[in-house]
Structure 1
Amino acid sequence: MVTSKSNIKICGVPTNAVIAFVHFIYTSRCSRENMKNYGIHLLVLSHVFSMPKLKQRCTVDLIQFMTTGNVVDVLHLAKLCDAPNLYFKCVKLVTNNFEAVKETEGWKLLHKHDPCLEVDLIRLNKEQESRKKRGEKHREEQKLFVQLSEAVQCLKHICTEGCTNVASYDVEITGRPCTKFSTCQALQGLIKHFTTCDRRLERGCRSCKSMWKLFRLHSCICINQEACKVPLCKKYQLIAEKENKEGATRWKLIVGKVASTMAMSSLQLLRTRRDEVIRNARVEEEEDELRESSNWWTNAIACFRCI
């Protein structure tokens, strides 16, 4: 850039980047093409000459133009130029595509010239992988607890109301396919097997073991054991007392999670029903308004005809 008194030399950046920089100084504008081609250089210039508006614009555009091939260079530059938002986005892109980024030339240069940053990125990648594993494990556990809560509710439904092929002694078998629970048919088959299996008392059969655990789970969750029709609901506490404390503690934890899952499912069902009632009420109100409007126009037309 030339002035009447002296020349200011800007070294280390392309000429077109300097032209775009000077153009931004006078117009506060920068074309998308210049930002795509010289965004990194403009970020450096904005940091050196303390131009926060240009730095913000460079940060936004560089986030859009980032790829796995140039993310390491942008990351290193964001660290030097004090651009935290850009730095965070770069780290996120690196951790999400770590294996691909490791094969780039930028990563090899990072390994030679900035090993501390390399170590930080490896640590962040390991932390993200561990978070993903914990999240997957948590989702699997939640899925299991949902299935257990549905099985407990289905067991109570079969023993209390009766279903297609299985019912309590004082309830008639419906013979109709069950529409309340997706696991109802399978659970009825399991109950039939449990009643005829010779090894159920020894708990040697795998299916019978599942039924024993389901009976125990229901007994721990049931709040009305005196009137409950599920078998062993009142007497299963005697069996639970014979087990060791470690197993009892673990079992209480499972029972608590299943109970909380059932409570959340009930709340979700109530919320869904409430929303449905509100939606139906609104539809009825709109229909009433349309009906009143139609009646008003009908009466108005009749009055005009009389006149």
Structure 2
Amino acid sequence: MKKFVLHLLVLSHCYVVLSLKRVCEHILEDGWLTKENVIDILQLARSCDAPRLSLVCLRMVMKDFKSISTTEAWKVMKRANPSLEQELLESVVEADSRKQERQKKIEEKKVYLQLHDAMEALLHICRDGCRTIGPRDKVLKGSQVACGFQACKGLETLIRHFSGCKSRVPGGCVHCKRMWQLLELHSRMCNEPEYCKVPLCRHFKMKMQQQSKKEEAKWKLLVSKVLAAKNAQRLFSSQRSSF
């Protein structure tokens, strides 16, 4: 039967033998497609009203477009059915755009999660102290003790630089500029500025009142995305642990 599966697909479609048609589609979908014949079978699937088979062929074209577009079947299709070629090219471009957009969102989410981790580490250092850095009234744990906050080590280095940098004014030093931004982000996420031990928390709370609506909207958007990324991660973790 496999030898004549293409003929049987056409006949089953013409004579409306649905059970035979489904069998033929299944055979073609299950390991029969190659980069040399997928374009021909795609056109046949469309002619025989086999949407599932057509979709399987289309996905294969999207996955291996570079190789398939050099086959003889593609060249024949290009001459005989240029509208289909245009449709496939548009589908490839659209799929590539979606892939790039997904990758962009993944990278953005990583940045927002890193910012949230930095906020937690900053609060940890300023409130509890960690290893060799922290409040003056806290007994530090010593450098040999591992810290549970991933961002703590990098933030500790940044804080030490910030405390000793002679160009600490905003915009005067790349590292200090980053520290200023982290401090302001913390202030915007902090709900207890009167009791907060993070430096300049109250200062930035007061500064908010003097900022333009555009600047305020930008910070609010950043805070919402940082919190949303962390909440999504927690939800995903809880769902995984429930299985």
Q: Do these two structures clear the TM 0.5 threshold for a shared fold by scoring above it?
A: yes
Instruction: Work out the CA distance in 1 between the residues paired with 2:152 and 2:141.
Output: 13
Match of 1:197 in 2: 165
Give a deviation string over 1:223-244, Cα, whole Å, max 9, x none: 2222111111121133344444
Match of 1:220 in 2: 188
Match of 2:147 in 1: 179
Give a deviation string over 1:25-75, Cα, whole Å, max 9, x none: xxxxxxxxx31x322121111112211111101111101211111110000
Q: Secondary structure at the match of 2:132?
A: coil
**Is the CA contact 1:215–1:232 (under 8 Å) kept in the aligned structure 2?**
yes
Give a deviation string over 1:128-169, Cα, whole Å, max 9, x none: 001000000000001111111111111111111110111012
Instruction: Work out the CA distance in 2 between the residues paired with 1:78 and 1:262.
Output: 45
Rg larger for: 1
User: Any stretches of 5+ residues in structure 2 without a counterpart?
Assistant: none
1:75 aligns with 2:37: no
Q: Percent identity, aligned pairs only?
A: 37
- If the length of structure 1 is used for normalisation, what is the TM-score? 0.73
The amino acid across from 1:194 in the alignment is F
**Is the CA contact 1:178–1:184 (under 8 Å) kept in the aligned structure 2?**
no
The amino acid across from 2:8 in the alignment is L
Give a deviation string over 1:276-298, Cα, whole Å, max 9, x none: xxx9xxxxxxxxxxxxxxxxxxx
CA RMSD of aligned residues (A): 2.1
Instruction: Work out the CA distance in 2 between the residues paired with 1:267 and 1:44.
Output: 49
Instruction: Work out the CA distance in 1 between the residues paired with 2:28 and 2:91.
Output: 22
Higher RCO (CA-CA < 8 Å; seq separation 6+): 2
Size of the aligned set, in residue pairs, is: 241
The amino acid across from 1:189 in the alignment is T
CA change 1:266–1:157 in 2 (3 A) is farther
Give a deviation string over 1:67-95, Cα, whole Å, max 9, x none: 11111000000000000100111111111
- If the length of structure 2 is used for normalisation, what is the TM-score? 0.92
Deviates more, 1:240-249 or 1:253-262: 240-249
The amino acid across from 1:76 in the alignment is Q
1:118-129 matched pairs, under 5 angstroms: 118-129=85-96
1:1-307 matched pairs, under 5 angstroms: 34-35=1-2, 37-64=3-30, 65-175=32-142, 176-266=144-234, 271=238
Deviates more, 1:255-264 or 1:193-202: 255-264
